[in-house]
Structure formats: C-alpha cells, structure tokens
Amino acid sequence: SSVTETIDPRATVTTDAGTAGLKTMISSAVFGVGNANNYDVSYEDGSFVITPRDLTLYAGSKTRIYGTENSTAVYTGGTTKFRTDAATATTGLVNGDTVADVTESTNALVTSNVGTSGLKTQITNMRLMGNRKASNYNITYVDGGFDITKRDLYITAGDKERAFGAENATAQYVNGTQRINVRPSDATTGLANGDAVSSITETIDPMATVTADAGTSGLWTRASAAQFSQGTDANYNILYVDGRFAIVPREVLVTAGNVTRDYGEPNPVVTEYVIERGDRTSWRGLLAGDEVSGIRSYYDAAITPTTQGGSYPGVIHIDPASVTAGYTGASAISNYRFRYAPGKLTIQMRGFDMSTPEGRAVITSTGSVTQVTTGLTGAAANRVLGSIGEIRGGGDTNAGASTGNGSGAAAQTVVSATAKQERSFADGVTIQMPQDAAPTNWANRVVVMNGSTPEAHDFVEHKDGSFGFDLGRTRGDRGFRPEDPAHNTSEAIPVLFTDGGSRDLDGIYTVNYSPEKLAIKPSSKKVDIPDPKEIRNTSAQALSFLYQTANGSFEVTFGNGIVTLYPQDEPALSIITAKERKAERAVLASGLLTAIEDLGVTPVEIRAVYIFNVLDGKSEETTA
C-alpha cells in the first residue's frame, strides 16, 4: 500500500535546471494485503528533472532628438535598460540570481523622422551576475518604446539697410548676412541629414517708411514660414530671430565746375557746380523738394596767375561749409552725406617758343612777335630772337638786341616776322603745352601742326636704335581707351626715299602706337617692298614741322597701303637730303603720327613709307 520515496540528494534548491543523472528512489514497500515476506522485492529508480523557471524582462522606453545618433537616446517614463517582475513561487529570479546586463538595440535610424510609428527598443542575451546560468530561466523579452523628438532650428532674418528716401525694395543685406541665415548645426540643433531650407517669408518693420530718418533705431527684419527643399519642417522646432534694418544717409556728389583762363590772369570765381540728383528708386542724389544753393569753390593754394599753362584737374574744390549753409528742404540735412569732386582749371598759353629758356610763353600776333626775357642780355637774347624767326617760317627778322651789364636787368625786344601761311605756323596759333609741371627746357621737342591742335612732343632716341615720341609727356598718361585704334603694332614696315622712280631703302622698322607713345624700332624681318608706282593718294593731310633749327611743311598721304611724305618747301627738302638723320627721323615719326591720328591709318595697314627727296614729287609721280 505504500513505499518510502527518496529524492536524489544532489537535487538541491540551487541545482541547475537540466542537471543530468538526478533520480528518485523508493524502498520499504508495505503490503496492505498479503505478506511482504512472500515476495522478493526489487526497486528501480525514477528520474528527477529540474526545468527552467519563467522570467520576463522588460526593455526600457527611450527618446532622442531627430538627426542624432541612437547612442544619445535617453530612457523615459522612469524606465531603465531592463526590469523584471517580482518573483513568485514559480516565476522570477530566485536563489539570489541578479541580471548583470542585456544586449539592447533599436530599429530607429539616424534619418528616421519625428513621429515614425513602430519604432522600439529591444533587449536580448540576458547575462547573470557571477557564474549563475541564464539557462535556469525560460526568458521572455518585452520591447520598450522609442520616440524621436523635434530638433531646434534657429533661422535669423538678414540685416538690411537702404538709403534715406529709398524704397524698402532697394534695401541690401549687410553685416555678412543674407535672406536666409540658419545657425550652424551642433550635436543637437540645426539642420541635419542633408536637410535644406529653400525660402522664407521676409517682413520689414512697418515703421521703416520712405520718410523715416536715417539712423532711426529699433527697426527690424523678420523671417517666417520656412520652406524646405530637402527634408521637412515637421522634424524641427523652428525658432525665428529678428534681424536689424538700418536707414543710412543718402550719398550726394557735388562736383565743382571747370573753368578756363589765360596765363597771367587771376583765377576766376567758379559759379558752376553740379549736384547729383536721385529718386525713390536709388540710394544716391538729392531728393525732390530738398535743395542746395549758393555753393562756393576755392582753388589749390599753388594755383597762381603765374602757374604754367596746361590742364590742372583736381585743383578746384567745393567749400563744404557753403553746402551746409545753403541747404534747404523738408528733410533733415543729416539724411544726406555730401561728397565732393574737384573741377579742372585750364590755363591757355597763346604760343610756345621751342628755344625759350625754361619753357616761357610767347605771345603771337598778326604782325609781330613779342618775346619777354628776364636776365638775358647780348648773345643770349639774340639766340632767343633767332629761334623766334625760325618758328615764323623764315620771314624777315629785325632784332634789336639790348645789351646789359650781366646784372640781371630785364630786356625786351620786338621782332617783326612775316609768316608763310601754307608752309609754317600761322600767326596766333596756340601750341599745346606739355603736361608735366616741371618748367624744363626740352632739348628734343618737336612741334607738329596737322589737322589737330598743334602740339609739342618729346622726341626720344634709344641706344637700341629705336626712336619716336613720348606722347604721354605732352598729353598726360591717359591709359588705353575703347576708342583707340586696334591693330596698333606692325612688325615690319619698310621706309624708303624716292624721287618717284628710283627707291633707296632707309630701313625696316617695327611701329607701335598707343596714346602714351609712338615707338619706331629697327626690325630684321623680311618684307615685300612695293614699287613707287603703286603710290595712291586717297587721303591727305598737311603737316607743319619744327625741330630745333629745322622746320618745313609736308603733305602726308595714304593709299594702297602706302604712307607718303611730300616736302612742300626748301626747308623741308633740306631736312630729307641732309646727312644729319635725327631731324629726318623726327619727320618720319611726325608723318606716321599724322597718318595714324589724322588719316585714321592703323600700323598694320601700312605696307611701306615713302619719303620724296624732290619737290613736286606728286607731279613726277603723275608723269611717271
């Protein structure tokens, strides 16, 4: 009726689940009916199994900011990485077992949007403290939640400014800002995942009217309604920051007038000036209804009646005090910032004597030339007078030279000269003064009169055989202008002397022309030389020429690619036939300059230059 059961003593409360070899044993059978002695009783052991205990682990719920790594997520709702239920008789941790750690993961990506459903925190691979075995438990893992929150995004409106009186539409961004200014990203704020803002709505403070004064404080610009070209605004908590709006004074340029006076005259009062005007669409200029009158100007202190002739830009200045005093208008003057541009004074010289010491002026008239010299006596005065006679073209000269004792007393001499109008400089001609201010006596000046204003040029020669004119010294350095001719350099132009039939090569030259210089340099290139019979005179220009004691008249023509110089009188012919080449080269340079500047020829059009060594060269050409 009963037996005595014994459980394997190895099966203790701490014996691990699944331990092999455990058994149950029975003995001492008791018969309820019959006698046990009648039986030879044998006992067989049973098995004893320890099964895993149920254990439920719960993952913690987490949250992080959009665009951040999952490792930055934090637990929410009071949860931790994991938790377990309290132990019961058959579930939960027993025997002092403690969970050391679990493996945690999530299905959220760094690019997952705010509000994405189905995101979760998962745990697996529970590990117990010490050498306790997780296999003693039948573990159930319960997922936690995972939420993504919006990322802070700061957008600042651009700082803008405009001029007083201008419409707000003309305002420009300043201080390195632009229409959209997104604060740079850091770990938890700013644009992420390649997101980009494409536009915003910009509003300007309604107090910034066209009549608001320059310097009005507290004006703002405001951004709103950001639109994304990449990403979505749903991932961001957008914080808009106002920019600043500034109204600055309008720039107004007041330009002094230009005036002209004769040498020796006092500086005239400048009554002309130009005030820059503007309207609501611009930042510059005086607005309608605001006026300035009674503006005064003044000259540089160095400009006196004895200032040498020439053009003096920048020596006439506006008096700022007169602008302030003369301002009237409905707008405050503080709404304007006046700037000033100087004017130009031109001092006219009525003649120029190439032999006058220090470049002093001479005054020419129809019947006579009056030369005023200071500190010159005897032979020195005679040299001056002789030079005047040469300028006048070789007319009769009566010189009454005064003599002195060398003490520096002034001497005045009147010279009568009859000019040859067609062969020399006409009476009353004004020769353009050199631009350089230094009162130097150029030893190599060449005076040229053709179709343009007579000019005195500096003739230069160099050791490499090149020669030409320093035009910049006479005219000032103008720089290249769009109207200057193209193709202004020719690599090889032959220059020849001819009587209309024969030809004698002077040389082959490179010719370069610019507003600052005319440079002629020997060239070693081979060229085809046209025959004198190919000369055609399709355009012509008279040329009067003076170089030191050499002077004369020429005619410069161009046609069929040939520039031709015809001497018109004996002095001109003597320059061509003389052995002294310097004057002849000065004639060549003058002829080329005339062809280029007055006949409109560019150097690359020139096939050759012919210089006639006989008078009436064109007549011989016609009969050839």
DSSP assignment of 75-111, as one string? E-TT--SEEEPPP-SSBS--TT--EEEEEEEE---TT
pLDDT of residue 453: 60
Beta strands in 183-292 (DSSP E): 196-204, 220-230, 236-241, 243-248, 250-256, 259-262, 273-275, 291-292
Of 324-328, 475-479, 588-592, the poorest mean pLDDT is in 475-479
Choose between 97 and 545: higher pLDDT: 97
Distance between start and end Cα atoms, the chain:
167
* CB-CB neighbours of 490 under 10 Å: 19
Choose between 213 and 406: higher pLDDT: 213
128 has a pLDDT exceeding 70: yes
Choose between 376 and 223: higher pLDDT: 223
Work out the percent of the chain whose per-residue pLDDT is above 90: 57
Mean pLDDT of 522-536: 89
Handedness of CA 244, 249, 250, 256 (dihedral sign): negative
pLDDT of residue 349: 66
Question: Element (H or E) spanning 581, and its range?
Answer: helix 581-597
Token representation of residue 57: 């682990």
Q: At 551, give phi and psi (nearest 5°).
A: -150, 160
Token representation of residue 536: 């055609």
621 has a pLDDT exceeding 80: no
Cα-based angle 575, 580, 582 (whole degrees, multiple of 5)? 85
On average, the pLDDT of the chain sits at 82
Residues 347 and 308: their CA atoms lie apart, in Å, by: 7
Mean pLDDT of 110-128: 96
Amino acid at 345: L
pLDDT of residue 618: 55
Mean pLDDT of 387-403: 31
3 state DSSP class of 206: coil
Of 222-226, 294-298, 409-413, the poorest mean pLDDT is in 409-413
- DSSP readout, 232-253? -GGGEEEEEE-EEEEEEPEEEE
Token representation of residue 445: 């000046």
| CA distances in angstroms from 579 to 395, 521, 569, listed in the order given | 25, 20, 18
DSSP state of 185: P
Q: How confident is the model at residue 429 (pLDDT cuts 50, 70, 90)?
A: very low
189-203, 429-443, 596-610: range with highest mean pLDDT: 189-203
Mean pLDDT of 413-417: 28
Position of tokens 């014996």?
15
Residues 69 and 105: their CA atoms lie apart, in Å, by: 12
Choose between 450 and 366: higher pLDDT: 450
Residues 24 and 412: their CA atoms lie apart, in Å, by: 157
309 has a pLDDT exceeding 80: yes
Position of tokens 């009237």?
328
pLDDT of residue 617: 67
Question: Element (H or E) spanning 369, and its range?
Answer: strand 368-373
Residues 202 and 168: their CA atoms lie apart, in Å, by: 12
Burial of 420-451, coded b for 16+ CB within 10 Å and e otherwise, reads beebbbbbebebbbbebeeeeebebbbbbbbe
92 has a pLDDT exceeding 90: yes
Contact 366, 427 (CB under 8 A): yes
Choose between 372 and 544: higher pLDDT: 544
Mean pLDDT of 348-377: 34
Burial of 224-261, coded b for 16+ CB within 10 Å and e otherwise, reads eebebeebeeebbebeeeebbbbbbbbbbebbbeebee
Phi-psi region of 107 (alpha: psi -120 to 50; beta: other; left: phi over 0): alpha
- DSSP readout, 475-525? H------TTS-S--EEEEEEEEEESSS-EEEEEEEEEEEETTEEEEEE---
Handedness of CA 448, 453, 456, 459 (dihedral sign): negative
Q: How confident is the model at residue 304 (pLDDT cuts 50, 70, 90)?
A: very high
Q: How confident is the model at residue 220 (pLDDT cuts 50, 70, 90)?
A: very high
Mean pLDDT of 491-511: 91
Residues 349 and 431: their CA atoms lie apart, in Å, by: 8
Amino acid at 455: E
**How does pLDDT run across 504-524, given as a tens digit for each residue?**
898 999 999 887 888 999 988
Q: How confident is the model at residue 549 (pLDDT cuts 50, 70, 90)?
A: low
Choose between 425 and 241: higher pLDDT: 241
- DSSP readout, 401-432? -----SS---EEEEEE----TTTSPPTTPPPB
Sheet containing strand 220-230, edge to edge, reads 172-173, 160-163, 243-248, 220-230, 196-204
* CB-CB neighbours of 14 under 10 Å: 12
pLDDT of residue 548: 61
Residues 547 and 461: their CA atoms lie apart, in Å, by: 14
DSSP state of 613: S
* CB-CB neighbours of 302 under 10 Å: 9
Residues 604 and 237: their CA atoms lie apart, in Å, by: 72
Residues 29 and 217: their CA atoms lie apart, in Å, by: 110
Q: How confident is the model at residue 490 (pLDDT cuts 50, 70, 90)?
A: confident
**How does pLDDT run across 244-281, given as a tens digit for each residue?**
999 999 999 999 999 999 988 999 999 999 999 999 99
Q: How confident is the model at residue 452 (pLDDT cuts 50, 70, 90)?
A: low
Mean pLDDT of 153-181: 97
- CA torsion angle for 465, 469, 473, 476 (degrees, to 10)? -130
Contact 24, 48 (CB under 8 A): yes
Residues 213 and 225: their CA atoms lie apart, in Å, by: 30
Choose between 311 and 413: higher pLDDT: 311
